[in-house]
Amino acid sequence: MTTPRMNLYRDIHKGIRLNLATVAERAGRTDFRDIEAAARLRDDLETTFRLLEHHAELENRFINPLVRTYAPQVGAKLDDDHAGHAQRLQELRAQLDAAVSAGPEAPLGGHEFTVALSRFVGESFLHMADEEELAMPALWAALDDRVLGEVHAALLASIAPEVMSLALSWMLPALNAAERFELLAGIRESAPAPAYDAIRALAIRVLDPSDWSRLERQLDAAVSRAA
């Protein structure tokens, strides 16, 4: 069996895909005549938008310089995408604010916002596919997993705990069972006990009970094997 290479994008992209699909679906069933419901949607979308901006900032800081070095055309495209997405997020914020405060025209403004959001979601999915299908193979060809692991570790170390918690709340449900185990086992091995305990509590909260039970059995079995 071929050992998988270090993938700088896989886990967070799974979480972002789940987040974006969820908020797009939620926007579609929000009654924008209900001011409180529309305001809650706006607040939750702002959290999503800030997560996307933070994610792009990390990629711009830690990953895209490497892509520009080893795959210049791909790197330039990713940089252009990030700049375009930043502008689109500002436009979506303004469009949502206008829809929330549109009074009798709120349903029409809300639907127009939902369509615009769905376009952004589609563009984001294509962008993430480019990163995984074009950028990551270029980095695999140029760099070994030790170097990629150092990049990944530096990126993770720069993330504030509250941002990490938010990202994990979407990543954990989006990962498959083997990926969840790999992630939690790695955190248990490398993080201080209080940090691991907090992430364990988060996993219990965001995962389906059957998924958490399976993960807990895997983690306990790993401890028994190591003893």
Q: Are 159 and 167 in contact (CB under 8 A)?
A: yes
> Per the domain annotation, does 168 fall within a domain?
no
198 and 151 in a common domain: no
* Residue ranges of E strands in 23-90: none
What whole-number distance in Å separates Cα of residue 163 and Cα of residue 55? 10
Predicted local distance difference test score (pLDDT) of residue 146: 96
Predicted local distance difference test score (pLDDT) of residue 206: 97
Domain limits at 37?
10-159
197 and 114 in a common domain: no
Model pTM score = 0.94
194 and 151 in a common domain: no
What whole-number distance in Å separates Cα of residue 144 and Cα of residue 139? 8
97 and 45 in a common domain: yes
What total of structural domains would you count in the chain? 2
100 and 69 in a common domain: yes
> Per the domain annotation, does 49 fall within a domain?
yes
pLDDT in tens, 6-21: 999 999 999 999 999 9
121 and 53 in a common domain: yes
> Per the domain annotation, does 14 fall within a domain?
yes
User: What's the token pair of residue 78?
Assistant: 């990713």
> Per the domain annotation, does 192 fall within a domain?
yes
